[in-house]
């Protein structure tokens, strides 16, 4: 699932935050409070401890990709949901640690609310303590996939990668996952509601 530099250049030319505008991150600070969601409790995020650049905010985005596309910049630890009018919703993300990075294009094939997480066999071999979830970790605030998961497929089928929530808010802006892209639970809920099955996802 490799993506050429030419392809990404066509997808993302320039990203510039809207400095000092009401569309900045402060607009969404209230969204990180505790909430009930489909019968589960979503804990509050101590958003003051999350760097401002990783809080959800509207930014300018110069791209040829159509609205509804998701662009993931693993270097900057940002995910962009393309909107009309040269704008995008930007979210802070956590990415794969060294040896687990990935790049390419995919599409969202499945959307799930409060998904079950089943660690793959190779992960259980690396981390035997996960064997207890061999048949699946039940949904809930402590689940590794968080409140929502978007399943990424490519031409070969299920890529094994996900865009998902996480209860580990302190991991946003860092490289410490096993390859999947993680967002704050409040942010993945927001992205889940915006995106559609079939949406294009570009990861650089």
Active-site positions?
164, 180
Q: Closest Cα partner for 65 from 84, 91, 78, 49?
A: 84
* DSSP output for 46-98: -GGGS-GGGS-EEEEEE-SSPTT-EEEETTTTEEEEEETTTEEEEEE-BEEPT
Residue 93, token pair as written in the block: 């993300």
Cβ pair 74, 55 in contact under 8 A: no
The enclosing H or E element of 160 equals strand 157-166
* Beta bridge partners of residue 78, listed in sequence order: 73, 92
d(CA 134, CA 176): 21
């Amino acid at each position: 699932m490799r993506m050429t530099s030419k392809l990404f250049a066509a997808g993302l030319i320039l990203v510039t935050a809207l400095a000092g505008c009401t569309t900045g991150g402060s607009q969404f600070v209230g969204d990180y409070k505790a909430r009930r969601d489909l019968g589960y409790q979503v804990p509050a995020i101590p958003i003051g401890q999350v760097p401002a650049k990783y809080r959800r905010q509207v930014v300018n985005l110069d791209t040829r990709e159509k609205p509804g596309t998701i662009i993931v910049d693993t270097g900057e630890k940002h995910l962009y949901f393309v909107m009309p009018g040269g704008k995008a919703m930007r979210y802070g993300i956590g990415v794969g640690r060294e040896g687990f990075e990935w790049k390419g294009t995919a599409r969202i094939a499945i959307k799930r609310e409060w998904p079950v997480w089943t660690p793959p066999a190779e992960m259980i071999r690396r981390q035997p303590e996960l064997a207890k979830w061999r048949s699946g970790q039940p949904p809930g605030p402590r689940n590794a996939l968080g409140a929502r998961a978007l399943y990424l497929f490519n031409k070969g089928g299920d890529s094994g990668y996900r865009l998902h929530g996480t209860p580990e808010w302190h991991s946003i802006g860092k490289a410490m996952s096993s390859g999947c892209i993680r967002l704050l639970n409040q942010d993945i809920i927001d992205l889940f509601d915006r995106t559609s099955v079939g949406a294009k996802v570009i990861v650089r």
